[in-house]
A and B are shown apart, each in its own frame.
Chain A
Amino acid sequence: MRWRHPVLIGLMWALTSVAAAAEEAGVSIRDAWVREAPPGATMMAGYMVLKNNTPRSQVLVAARSSGFGTVMIHRTVVKGGLTGMEHAPKIELLPNASLLFEPGGYHLMLLNPKRALHAGDRVDINLEFLGGLVIPVAYEVRK
């Protein structure tokens, strides 16, 4: 069944192109950054501003990166005076609305970086939306 591979690859390429086109019009991301962490840190956090450019809701369901052991969408919450984090399995971006991932709020929890990251480095993370849209985002490591 070797002959099928080029077809699959072609199909995947076509789908990726569709996703890339959707990204332009669909959801845009700016100010994407990761806070530089102390040496030996196993936890880092990523921040950004998401903007839904469509008249429909867009739902962020996952974030993935080969640069970390695990990437999870988290939110810092205050409950009964205690601050902690909770996993946000999906986040709805309302039509034409912006959503902030910022310190003390939503963030990408980046667990077990595969290499030491320093201010100025770049980290690639894919954001996955319901319906199959995948947006690759470059995050700048900042102090």
Chain B
Amino acid sequence: MMTAVVLAAMLGGVWLAAKYRENGSQAILLPDQVMTLFPAPKPLEAFAFTDHENRVFDLSRLKGKWSFLFFGYTHCPDVCPTTLAVLARTHEEIVKSTVGAKDVQFVFISVDPNRDTAGKLEQYVTYFDPTFLGVTGNNAQLGNLAGQLGAAYEVAITPGTDNYPVYHTAAVFLVDPRARYHAVFAPPLDAEAISKRFKVLRELEGPEAT
């Protein structure tokens, strides 16, 4: 029997992805203002960060898991805590699904390595969810991955003050288990909206994605 999964048809206009699975079910994800899905996901190239446990976080760490990536910094009172709280709830929603969340990771990428040491990142990200990862790297590496995802940031380091402005892309990027840039969630972010779409996408991609 053909079943169609149709999401948020209200705002979209173009079919972005349609995929037929062997079991005959047809699932369709429509574009909307929450998620932009790339019909031809873009394989990411090598990069090198360090995570909050001082381990190397490189391309290989994105393989075998769906990764939600968010660029930010810990001295960020509004957007970053709001987003991380949304992602923590997104994680909870995915945990509740039949497949669970073992194949999912959430990675906070600090664009402010000057202030965000591994210790600070650990305190920060694990407060929102003990499974969250905090990573950072030098400017070349941050620029490298940001560029591959179409993200950007600006850090206006001001000598003599620990309070300087940082500007960053506030979207959440989704990388699939083959380390391909697969989708992006645009703010305002909502846990239910994101998790619903993610669960359908994961179902659509099936084991092929891994």
- A residues contacting B by CB (< 8 A) are 35, 37-45, 74, 76, 78-79, 81-85, 103-104, 107, 109-111
8 A-B pairs, CB-CB below 8 angstroms?
A37-B81, A43-B77, A82-B152, A84-B154, A85-B78, A104-B79, A104-B188, A110-B77
A84 and B77 form a contact (CB under 8 A)? no
B188 and A83 form a contact (CB under 8 A)? no
Q: Which of B17-25, B166-174, B197-205 contacts A (4 or more CB under 8 A)?
A: B166-174
Q: How far is the CA of A47 from the CA of B171 in the complex (A)?
A: 22
Kindly list chain A residues whose C-beta atoms are within 8 Å of the C-beta of B166. 84
Kindly list chain A residues whose C-beta atoms are within 8 Å of the C-beta of B85. 35
Selected contact of B77 from candidates A78, A81, A107, CB within 8 Å: A107
The chain B residue sitting closest to A43, CB to CB, is B77
Q: Tell whether B100 is near chain A: CB-to-CB under 8 Å.
A: no
Q: Tell whether B16 is near chain A: CB-to-CB under 8 Å.
A: no
B82 and A103 form a contact (CB under 8 A)? yes
Task: Tell me which of B78, B85, B127, B169 has the highest count of chain A C-beta atoms within 10 A of its own C-beta.
Answer: B78
Task: Tell me which of A39, A74, A76, A110 has the highest count of chain B C-beta atoms within 10 A of its own C-beta.
Answer: A76
Q: In chain B, residues 112-148, which have Cβ atoms closer than 8 Å to a Cβ of chain A?
A: 120, 123-124, 127-128
Kindly list chain B residues whose C-beta atoms are within 8 Å of the C-beta of A84. 154, 165-168
